[in-house]
Amino acid sequence: MRILVTNDDGINSRGILALAESLNSVGEVTVVAPAREQSGASGAITLHSPVRITEATPNASRLRAYAVEGTPSDSVILGLERLLEKPIDLVVSGVNVGPNLGSDLFLSGTVAAALQAHFRSITAFAVSVTARKADTTHKVIHLEGAALLARLLARHARKGRLLRGTFLNINVPNLPLEEIEGIEITRTAHCTHVDVVQEGHDGKPNYFWIARRKRDDRVPEPGTDYWAIGRKRISITPLHADWTFSETRSALGSLVPLLMEGLHSPR
Ligand code: MN
């Protein structure tokens, strides 16, 4: 089984090393990841400059690895189309250090990397540990649960037991394995946490920092990814590239005659 491992935290992050080493017993792992941190890069691709690749040894490991001067999506496209021998059976993105929950999935480089595999009908999942900034500062990041879960899922994928036609977004509470209380199959909560803008002054025209909200008192809806994490449970959300919201198609259709009328007799 050939496995491509990528992330958006950069090739030297602890999370990608833990993931790649965990998956190494399941199949032949190749790491292809951004040379530098690309969190928040979403599905961006580099079209207007050349993309360079160097062979890498993440944290002196023996893994076969390539550092890409580009985005997470660049890394997966290069890995799938150029660097790895085909067929490629599985793409895993992570372990991201930080949550990928709710509507913020649309901003996630981690999830977008898995999406590139999904576009090509390759089994894929993204995995994150929901560590907050303070956890990172104090170096309390529990990667073992996420790395182990990824290995279990990869084994199921090898046996053909992971569903095709979907890809998974997995968030693991930042807790020691024995404190995790279960697994929930969830849906994505409709909310963003990237809604903080801080203004700064440095003698030039004012500048701004866009940041993630630190505190949240909203009660998450049952069944959502946020709800599962709040209950110390692993959240697994099946995702799909089709963004069409079918329920509103017919309601929207009733607007068409009015729009056509407007187009034919502009006022
Ligand atoms: Mn990240």
* Cα-to-centroid distance, 61 and ligand 1 (Å): 21
Which pLDDT belongs to residue 86? 92
The answer to whether the beta carbons of residues 187 and 223 sit under 8 Å apart is yes
Q: Rounded to an integer, what distance in angstroms lies between the CA atom of residue 150 and that of residue 24?
A: 11
Summarize pLDDT for 106-142 with one digit per residue, the tens. Answer: 999 999 999 999 999 999 999 999 998 777 666 789 9
- 3-class state of residue 109 by DSSP: helix
32 CA to centre of ligand 1 in angstroms: 15
Ligand 1 centre to CA of 265 (Å) is 50
Residue 135 near residue 174, CB atoms below 8 Å: yes
Nearest to 66 by CA among 32, 16, 20: 32
d(Cα 10, Cα 95) in Å, to the nearest integer? 11
Per-residue pLDDT reduced to its tens digit, 189-220: 999 888 899 999 999 989 999 988 877 788 89
For 135-178, write each residue's pLDDT tens digit: 766 678 999 999 999 999 999 999 988 888 899 999 999 999 99
Distance 143 CA to ligand 1 centre (A): 14
Q: Is 7 within 8 Å of 15 (Cβ atoms)?
A: yes
> Is the separation of the CB atoms in 14 and 97 below 8 Å?
yes
From the CA of 38, how far away is ligand 1's center (Å)? 7
**Is the pTM value of this prediction over 0.85?**
yes
Distance, CA of 33 to CA of 9 (rounded, Å): 9
Ligand 1 midpoint to CA 248 (Å): 33
Rg (CA), the chain: 20
The whole-angstrom separation of Cα 61 and Cα 195 is 38
Measured in angstroms, how far is the CA atom of residue 140 from the centroid of ligand 1? 16
Measure 258 CA to ligand 1 centroid, in angstroms: 45
**Bridge pairing between strands 123-129 and 196-200:** unpaired
